[in-house]
Structure 1
């Protein structure tokens, strides 16, 4: 038997989307550094994107074996409801086959399956095959605490058993130490047409069940960031922030020229603008964003995709003459090495959709936020940023639901002039780095999980 087979073997299964693949890839790298072998299970579509986005210096991942199962049709990829149906109907049998093949080969027995919490079926397969299992939460612990509160929302009559909200504009104080939520902002009620409320609500319920059946529930957060939420969900094991030095896990090729461009800018002068992998603006809102950045009159780095690669929705175009007018102060790229960008000393603030991965990265780099949440848990994260941690400001839409160029300029200037927000952001950065340092809370939790895996 070779030494490689003495290494514990872990099967990792993300939900097939950017915001789910990346943190689990970062967790996989942490396990590899500690002597584990990883089989990383993805669909063929995600595999191709992941490989194509790797740095040119190498097309392989040390210690991580990428394995594909199933495949969506083009029609399923463009329709999120059909995509979810394909995941839940096709993949369980494929995963069981994969586990049997691995355990009968030189790869050796699988010590644990770590699966995205939305993939309850994966943990069911692992349990049925006698394999230890961990659920990974790709959202804030606070969101998980809110999901645990759903039975009480039903009992109090705020929603029915299908998640349908009975009072559309009510604000719910669901826990004394947590941000209140408008009923319209419940994650299944604000999916921007990507997934129906009924399917999203059922996904949330199923994910809750999967967490309860797992031996460990891992979360990309740290104790000092969400103490109130972690007190409400005591079985969560915070192991974040999950950060990376190699940026592996992105599904789009990065434009590293933005880093050399940042080198030429003054300290804390650049507004960084990025809205994740899914958010798409209509043309009117896109124009206001572009003109708002121009109106600022300061350097900006804008991550802009011409269209959604996943859903193929119509593209937006820049206002007439915009690119020529901002050529001396603006840098526009299709995708950026975000963690490196946020760590750069020239970054002044982060205009963000408030996705959890972006939120954790911004917190870890000590960058103030200008919050522009779009759907799902992003609204919850935005409240965390502005009201709980006080490390950012929110943008307010006008009577037509548009965030105007004047609002962008006004809030940006207010944010950049706030010494209090800057100080709060730096304090959170210090906490984040301490948590993953030697003897830190998250480091201890990760080591505890790994030691239990070896027993």
Structure 2
């Protein structure tokens, strides 16, 4: 046995030095997510799966996300007992800076983290004797941290790039040179005209105004994101393996356009007791007990992910729409869901819905969507939420906010036809009347619910011994263990 000192934390989030016992001969993966919630969760899920197959995992967070993860852990979870070693490094931003300013965050990551990563790997590998099999044997990097592939290649370490979103979005990024040549966008990513395009006849139509880098922030932010996404996608192409949290059945055309991308999804959490989940906020488990008391297929679940922000007008319209529907509901209202200091509900709203609604700040989403009382998911269409909804057979009302969510909405409503889109009015607001109307349309359409249940079977079949995703994952395991 070899013992190394690593930075861990107690269940109260206090850092300490502890000695870790590491078995000889295990593959040892250094895992690096992009530091936002929707990217950390699938890589944490993948890490737990690798641990179950004999891997050592060192999970690299930025210092900011490291503190968020530790502070959100349940009291019974202690990361010094976890099978995943959680460590941190600076992202280059000051403690009080806004990390939702993605352009600034991406520029800071690019200028700061590569040198820290290289030094971290050298330091970790020096912790083992020359004949040890426990040095870092591979680096698994979020493709949005594609620079890490080049660091690993420079150091002679096998590289794995992980794509956490729809394969269709990656296909779009790979087609950037062609889009520039065809005059769809300029060299800085700005659309020359607002138009609908298709990368192939069977792909969803994409609105150039909704390209992932173009519908975020001001012009400098958009240009910074465009540069960051494109350069990291190019860097990730050099990786030995390209993995994806998707599966062939739902995006066949996209995978034809990205032939080296290997789908291993959907990656769903296993709810391991006493393990780090990667959540940035503490889950309110009381909502599951509340769901237990509701009638089957009666509850509307409303959640908009980790980044969505509404103005007060839109927040009020949503609340009124929920009230108009008149059914039991579970609504996730995270502390920063509105652009003011705290969400303000319409007058009397909380009193009027007290007997049929529950509002929480964060929910164990997979447990919620799997619950038999849940009938509908009003969602921002983030890819993790999309995969989870498909896996549980729950129909969608789609409310995309930014980035890839518009593409995911097109898949849901136009390609898979397991949900409906909520339309924005001329004033830029989704009205309470629109919410109520689309709810009635969806509830009255049995074909949508039937297709959702068929998609559930198709999704989960990929994770069986006959499924292509499980086969791809096993092929990857064997290759990594054989090195």
The answer to whether TM tops 0.5 is yes
Query: What's the CA shift string for 1:221-247, capped at 9, x where partnerless?
Result: 111121111111110010011001228
Matched, 1:447 2:470: no
Query: Please, which of 46, 53, 56 is the counterpart of residue 34 of structure 1?
Result: 53
What is the SS of the residue equivalent to 2:232?
A: helix
What is the SS of the residue equivalent to 2:237?
A: helix
Query: Please, which of 234, 243, 261 is the counterpart of residue 290 of structure 2?
Result: 261
Matched, 1:221 2:246: yes
Query: What's the CA shift string for 1:166-220, capped at 9, x where partnerless?
Result: 11x2111331110111111111111145971101111221122122111111100
Structure 1 residues 379 and 194, CA, compared in 2 at 3 Å: closer, same or farther?
farther
Q: Distance in 1 between matches of 2:96 and 2:266?
A: 35
Whether contact under 8 Å (1:348, 1:416) holds in the other structure is: no
Matched, 1:67 2:87: yes
Give the RMSD, CA atoms, in angstroms.
1.7
Whether contact under 8 Å (1:135, 1:210) holds in the other structure is: no
Aligned equivalent of 1:232:
257
Aligned equivalent of 1:50:
69
Task: State the TM-score, normalizing by the size of structure 1.
Answer: 0.96
Matched, 1:196 2:196: no
Query: What's the CA shift string for 1:127-165, capped at 9, x where partnerless?
Result: 110000011112101111122222221111111121121
Whether contact under 8 Å (2:334, 2:362) holds in the other structure is: yes
Aligned equivalent of 1:420:
447
Question: Unmatched 5+ residue regions in structure 1?
Answer: none
Aligned equivalent of 2:17:
none
Q: Distance in 1 between matches of 2:392 and 2:228?
A: 32
Q: Distance in 1 between matches of 2:197 and 2:32?
A: 34
Q: Distance in 2 between matches of 1:283 and 1:314?
A: 11
Q: Distance in 1 between matches of 2:173 and 2:53?
A: 33
Whether contact under 8 Å (2:29, 2:58) holds in the other structure is: yes
1:81 is displaced (CA, Å) by: 2.8
Matched, 1:249 2:271: no
Query: What's the CA shift string for 1:75-104, capped at 9, x where partnerless?
Result: 433443332222111111111111112112
Whether contact under 8 Å (2:103, 2:225) holds in the other structure is: no
Matched, 1:399 2:426: yes
Query: Please, which of 118, 122, 140 is the counterpart of residue 100 of structure 1?
Result: 122
Aligned length: 452
Aligned equivalent of 1:174:
199
Query: Please, which of 138, 146, 152 is the counterpart of residue 164 of structure 2?
Result: 138
Q: Distance in 1 between matches of 2:46 and 2:55?
A: 11
Matches within 5 A, 1:112-191: 112-167=138-193, 169-191=194-216
Whether contact under 8 Å (2:64, 2:95) holds in the other structure is: no
Matched, 1:340 2:367: yes
Aligned equivalent of 2:357:
330
1:251 is displaced (CA, Å) by: 0.8
Query: What's the CA shift string for 1:244-292, capped at 9, x where partnerless?
Result: 1228121100000000000011111000000000101011111000000
What is the SS of the residue equivalent to 1:178?
A: coil
Which ranges of 4 or more aligned residues in structure 1 deviate by more than 6 Å? none
What is the SS of the residue equivalent to 2:294?
A: coil
Whether contact under 8 Å (1:39, 1:66) holds in the other structure is: yes
Query: What's the CA shift string for 1:14-67, capped at 9, x where partnerless?
Result: 011101111100000010010001000011221111112222222226321011
1:105 is displaced (CA, Å) by: 1.4
Whether contact under 8 Å (1:192, 1:374) holds in the other structure is: no
Aligned equivalent of 1:376:
403
Aligned equivalent of 1:11:
30
Q: Distance in 1 between matches of 2:308 and 2:177?
A: 30
Whether contact under 8 Å (1:123, 1:210) holds in the other structure is: yes
Aligned equivalent of 1:285:
314
What is the SS of the residue equivalent to 1:102?
A: helix
Query: What's the CA shift string for 1:305-339, capped at 9, x where partnerless?
Result: 23269xx8644311111101100111000000000
What is the SS of the residue equivalent to 1:224?
A: helix
Question: Unmatched 5+ residue regions in structure 2?
Answer: 3-21
Aligned equivalent of 1:303:
332
Q: Distance in 2 between matches of 1:210 and 1:328?
A: 53
